[in-house]
């Protein structure tokens, strides 16, 4: 399995297109935010995003950054996850349907193609599934604790 990769330019375009579709003006700040997520290979904490944005735009507030993260998640261009140190965000995968193995130490994201929804028994027949995510949290080969490797 390969480490998760995505095309930076395509990701920026997708994020900006989603913003525009919701009537957002495409400002330099929003372009910078899209670029940050397109270039990031892992998850970003809201504080990290704020610190990055504050370097370029000293007047930006944490509340504005956090509100944008939540709205971009609602739009479907960012994914959010709760890891050990809190809520984090990353650019959503646009290429095709897949799921992720996520290392809780280095936060490496490894895609896998198997979709467990196909084997799900017990979902009520009158429930219409619109979307789903399946994530497995653990340790990648580089981060597996020493005593677990010896077993």
List the binding residues: 97, 103, 106, 132, 140, 143
Nearest by Cα to 101 from 61, 45, 68, 141 = 141
Identify whether the C-beta of residue 142 lies closer than 8 Å to the C-beta of residue 126.
Answer: no
Binding residues for Fe cation: 97, 132
Strands 86-91 and 78-83: antiparallel
Strands 86-91 and 99-103: unpaired
Identify whether the C-beta of residue 75 lies closer than 8 Å to the C-beta of residue 18.
Answer: yes
Give helix then strand counts, H and E, for the chain.
5, 5
* Residue showing tokens 């050990």: 84
Binding residues for Zn(2+): 103, 106, 140, 143
Distances (CA, A) of 52 to 47, 66, 126: 9, 13, 45
């Amino acid at each position: 399995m390969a480490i998760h990769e995505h095309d930076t330019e395509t990701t920026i375009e997708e994020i900006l297109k989603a913003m525009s579709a919701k009537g957002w003006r495409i400002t330099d700040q929003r372009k910078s935010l899209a670029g940050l997520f397109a270039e990031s290979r892992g998850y970003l904490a809201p504080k990290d995003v704020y610190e990055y944005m504050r370097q370029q735009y000293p007047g930006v507030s944490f509340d504005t950054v956090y509100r944008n993260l939540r709205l971009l998640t609602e739009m479907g261009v960012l994914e959010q996850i709760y890891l050990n140190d809190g809520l984090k965000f990353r650019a959503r995968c646009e290429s095709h349907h897949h799921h992720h193995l996520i290392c809780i130490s280095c936060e490496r994201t490894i895609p896998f193609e198997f979709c467990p929804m196909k084997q799900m028994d017990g979902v009520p027949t009158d429930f219409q599934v619109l979307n789903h995510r399946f994530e497995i949290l653990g340790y990648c080969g580089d981060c597996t604790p020493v005593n677990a490797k010896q077993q």
